[in-house]
Structure 1
């Protein structure tokens, strides 16, 4: 029997309640993207900033804020993160412009990064060593479960209320968390010799923000425009400076020396690409179900429920597989189920039966859950020095977010180009004639929901029917192109991943 103080379990409940809101908010917007796009007149390129804006600041500040909490006080930083996150959520719910909503998402990422690592340290201090593995496992599970239930929760809340409540709902949860924590939470500090890599943090934010902006907005401003060329130059310079500085500072934000370990390198690259691809799937599939299949947000959220259940169940299953078999076996199963899911995604149609959607999401959820279950442990297990575990865990989270941000930016750009390509082709083949001005307006309407609605209203009944069909068809075509590319890259990467697994076997 454990002699743990009952108050410590209240600490765990209060901290975990606040912490789970961070990953939930990461993905809760996904099922509501179509409604947000319509209400705030946002393009696909702008929509992806609702995820990447959050992701850039969260991953860049996570390690820095963990060290700052050790110095200034973990309780103080936890309260600051909770209150700031609640206020940013209120601002997001009240936003009436795309720019303001993106800014609020960036602030959510900042305050989430303040809150999350401080909570981990508080829990470690609150429990005796014999209980720390169990309670940190519970706290860590908040990240995976939160990411998984976010889209489902978003669909249900939006279906019953409206999309603004996906942000408002955070406020009472944060208040309850604070009411639980305030009476039982004690201040704790751990001033250590680790320095805070402020320069690395700034360069990482600048690198990711400029690179993602250039990639996602190039088609809108023109790839040869001054603003896009300038942001590409800023990205290249800041990435170069980041690599040079991180190899020289004592306690780098991104410890590049870890990549000299072949086992860590293999597991980190495989897992980061896997997670980056999952960002793309979870961004595009809710939009597909709404815009092409015609589901409302509640239906979309419920359709994602099987995937959510699988992502909760399969980390434990993959953990058992990892304990019993070689790393190459686990990676083979994970990649194989992902490939099957991508193949099935290619068969999505506007009149797709419900059972087929559920089947695909079950398979994809199983592969995603397996990745979540073994990804970080696999990377950590490659180290011979246990003192680096905290550094590696933070580095893995940072790398995963970087991969997600960059891969999603590339995917949305490819999606946009595919849409415009197929739209031009279909308009040429159409029996109904459109003027050059109308064709230009139709292309512009792909990125502008208000313009698309006005265009349909101003068209003849025959043209309006064709336009509606075109918008659905080109979205489906763009979706299939992106999924086909993910499938191709996964097939190409599989042999390399399995070949790299020979470096992992030594540490299994």
Structure 2
């Protein structure tokens, strides 16, 4: 008879609460912003370009610095890095709420992304260093379930604040969980482990950030200035060169923030290519639907926030079951069918017409999208992390997280080109077709590239 699994101590429960709240802050902000974009544009101006930069400024620094966050956390201690990230995120949130101009807001969003890059990796590292064995699996499961709550409440709270107070207050939501996290950190007894020999590739992080930033600038501004303009081709060329230098550096530096040898593993590189397509499509869909439902269909921010709620509800209900089934049957089928379903969901948005009806034109798409996403996410994550040895799962997870952020970054940067410059009904339909194409590509890549791991044969079956 096996001994019962011990219950978590009070201190472990405090650590779990700290990790959940710190990550919740970063997830919450990502779900609030799309609903607030039309109100931001109405007050500060700048049109579609401002809306693109409000999203992408955050994703540039978040996607680039999340790779180096693990090294920083190891070198300086998880709790210290978590405190710095929380303080930076709080200050940036206040600056966003007080932004007097689009330019100020965009810079504040970039700083917020830089701070947010250290929250999720440090939170997970704190959990893995505090919990062990079966307790660690339970803690990470609880962390995943509770942080998913940000996906549910974020758009709704953001919409309510935008409609009845101001979009500025939607970004101040972060202050309360940050304050509560600091209070819990003062009560928790955590020995902050540090590695004095840890190496941080700051030059690589700078090359990655500047390279991505320059390329995204060119992609966003190109529809206005054209490729012939030096203001476009010069930063694009510089961005490509800097990002190329970053990749070359990762081949020679002692402790790379992007270990390129990981991409020799078939399921890892294939899974990340599928991630690039699927998460690029999800970012495009989330932006376009939230903005068009307000600016094109005339819904309030609150109703626009509620529109995607079926997706999140289905994810909460079905994701763990899909993960269990993928563990039994392998991830390939789920990673193929899920994106294909989401491609169908995107094409259902072509039914949106000037005589708008959420119930008949949008809700069916949201339901099918939720089913497809529920089928995809857990198998995708397990396929990628399961392909890499356990001791390198942290960096493998960070790489996959960065790929998903960069996918969103590129999709939003190309938005004006995709929709033809204006998010009217025709532009909305073009975005739906582009989203479907990306989703279908993700399904095809998974079908052709993913290999199911060999099933272990139980003794009774041999």
Task: Report the TM-score, using the length of structure 1 for normalisation.
Answer: 0.84
**1:330 pairs with 326, 334, 357, which one?**
334
**Distance in structure 1 (CA, Å) of the matches to 2:80 and 2:178:** 15
SS of corresponding position for 1:346: helix
For residues 268-283 of structure 1, the aligned pairs below 5 Å read: 268-283=272-287
Q: Determine if the alignment matches structure 1 residue 54 to structure 2 residue 33.
A: no
Residues 316, 373 of structure 1: 8 Å contact kept: yes
Instruction: Look up the match of 1:390.
Output: 394
Aligned-pair Cα RMSD in Å: 2.0
**2:424 pairs with 475, 482, 485, which one?**
475
For residues 337-486 of structure 1, the aligned pairs below 5 Å read: 337-356=341-360, 357-383=362-388, 385-417=389-421, 419=422, 475-486=424-435
Residues 67, 398 of structure 2: 8 Å contact kept: yes
Instruction: Look up the match of 1:172.
Output: 176
**Distance in structure 1 (CA, Å) of the matches to 2:155 and 2:96:** 17
Instruction: Look up the match of 2:37.
Output: 33
Cα deviation digits, residues 128-177 of structure 1 (max 9, x gap): 43311111222244554434543233113323322111111111221112
SS of corresponding position for 2:252: coil
Q: Determine if the alignment matches structure 1 residue 106 to structure 2 residue 106.
A: no
Q: Unpaired runs of 5+ in structure 2?
A: 457-462
Q: Determine if the alignment matches structure 1 residue 284 to structure 2 residue 284.
A: no
Residues 315, 374 of structure 2: 8 Å contact kept: yes
**Distance in structure 1 (CA, Å) of the matches to 2:285 and 2:206:** 29
**Distance in structure 2 (CA, Å) of the matches to 1:265 and 1:146:** 29
**1:245 pairs with 243, 246, 249, which one?**
249
**Distance in structure 2 (CA, Å) of the matches to 1:493 and 1:120:** 28
SS of corresponding position for 2:117: helix
**Cα 1:260–1:126 shift into 2, 3 Å:** closer
Q: Unpaired runs of 5+ in structure 1?
A: 420-473
Cα deviation digits, residues 383-411 of structure 1 (max 9, x gap): 3x322211211111111111111122123
Larger Rg over CA atoms: 1
For residues 141-156 of structure 1, the aligned pairs below 5 Å read: 141=145, 144-147=148-151, 149-156=153-160
**1:216 pairs with 209, 217, 220, which one?**
220
Per the TM alignment, residue 18 of structure 1 is displaced from its structure 2 partner at its CA by 2.3
Residues 311, 371 of structure 2: 8 Å contact kept: yes
SS of corresponding position for 2:87: helix
**Cα 1:490–1:171 shift into 2, 3 Å:** closer
Per the TM alignment, residue 45 of structure 1 is displaced from its structure 2 partner at its CA by 2.1
**Cα 1:192–1:135 shift into 2, 3 Å:** farther
**Distance in structure 1 (CA, Å) of the matches to 2:19 and 2:392:** 25
Per the TM alignment, residue 336 of structure 1 is displaced from its structure 2 partner at its CA by 2.6
Residues 274, 371 of structure 1: 8 Å contact kept: no
**Cα 1:287–1:212 shift into 2, 3 Å:** same
**Distance in structure 1 (CA, Å) of the matches to 2:301 and 2:267:** 42
Residues 62, 117 of structure 1: 8 Å contact kept: yes
Task: Report the TM-score, using the length of structure 2 for normalisation.
Answer: 0.92
Q: Determine if the alignment matches structure 1 residue 261 to structure 2 residue 265.
A: yes
Q: Decide which moves more: 480-489 or 268-277.
A: 480-489
**Distance in structure 2 (CA, Å) of the matches to 1:256 and 1:61:** 17
